[in-house]
Amino acid sequence: MQMVSVTTPGTDSAIAVGIIGASGFTGAELLRLAAQHPNFDVVIATGDSMAGRRAADLYPSLEVAYPDLVFTEFDKAQTANLDLVFLGLPHEASMALAPDLVGSVDCVVDLSAAFRLKDAGAYPTFYGFEHDQPELLAEAVFGLPELHRRELAGARLVSTPGCHVTAATLALRPLVEAGLIETTGLIVNTLTGITGAGRKPTETNVFTNIDSNVMAYGLGKHRHTPEMEQEIGGELIFTPHLVPMSRGLLATCYARPADGCTDEAVKQALRSFFAGEPFVAVIDGPPETKSVLGANAAHVSAQYDERTGTVIAMCAIDNLTKGASGGAVQAANVALGIDEMAGLATVGVAP
């Protein structure tokens, strides 16, 4: 997929940003990225459960950039003069709030799943609630620029993909489009850092349960499954695993080859699809999560194992950056017509 330039000359003025639900991990990551963004000016950062608390007390890494920022309770009046709003709220809360914001600010970027699925009928099964905003659901643009860059330009409502979905889609969608793999019987296994479980202490993310442990969850019914099938274009089985690291995500995907599939063909399909993409690198060996730590980069690879007749496609991302807040900033940049790479690193933190 050839890169399309989205930079608009002369758009270097400040963009007033609000982060609704800023006290969670994705909110903190948004604050980190906004601090290095040449256009973003964070005006409000709400966090009802942390209202009145200084952001740098909760996240000391924010001390230099935000010494005076205090989380506030949400008040719609605060959004009156904003250009861009990020929603880091539970799904139903985002669904309820979005109608009040879309149209009153230039762009709303939702990090929940409230507007990801085009089939409203999937929400009761996978998320446990009825979707009551069909018009906004139809308008929302899926926030993965590598697939939807043209639709994102000028979008009023952007739905940021799930982290597992981002990795699996980048690994498999090029092979589906090239006709090199069967679109049934796909298998997606992911390993993800514990920040994917959220900041609130639970039995899942308490240190004694995650340390030296790997656990699978959501077998056969994970809520990201329909989102993956929608974006990849195939039927799949998805099994995520929590591993004892703070951040990072590695997707390993398996597919049956279609006629004409070769090892060189799958590699060339990735190279062609991602030619010119600023944040995706096609590499020869298996990708590693440490290579993309803190970056908005995705490292992808694929190979065809002739002995077993299996295509193996892999993708490594940082679950909080490219898999959440970084992807949200990238999509917002495209929607607002500014430099797509603004505020986002392509190099991971190493060693």
Q: Are 181 and 167 in contact (CB under 8 A)?
A: no
Residue 83 one-letter amino acid: D
Which tokens belong to 332? 């917002």
Q: Note whether 1 and 275 are within 8 A (CB).
A: yes
Residue 249: closest CA among 184, 180, 167, 327: 167
Phi and psi (nearest 5°) for 277?
-70, 130
The whole-angstrom separation of Cα 17 and Cα 28 is 14
From 163, 253, 261, 315, the catalytic residue: 163
Task: Look at residue 350 and give its three-state secondary structure.
Answer: coil
Report residue 29 CA to chain centroid gap. 12
Among 176, 108, 173, 177, residue whose Cα is nearest residue 143: 108
163 annotated active-site: yes
From start to end of 47-165, where are the E strands?
A: 84-87, 107-110, 141-142, 157-159
Angstrom distance (rounded) from CA 98 to CA 115? 10
Distance, CA of 302 to CA of 273 (rounded, Å)? 13
260 CB burial (10 A radius; 0-12, 13-18, 19+): exposed
Residue type, 324: A
215-216 vs 249-255, strand pairing mode: unpaired
Residues 6+ apart with CB under 8 A from 13: 39
Catalytic positions are 163
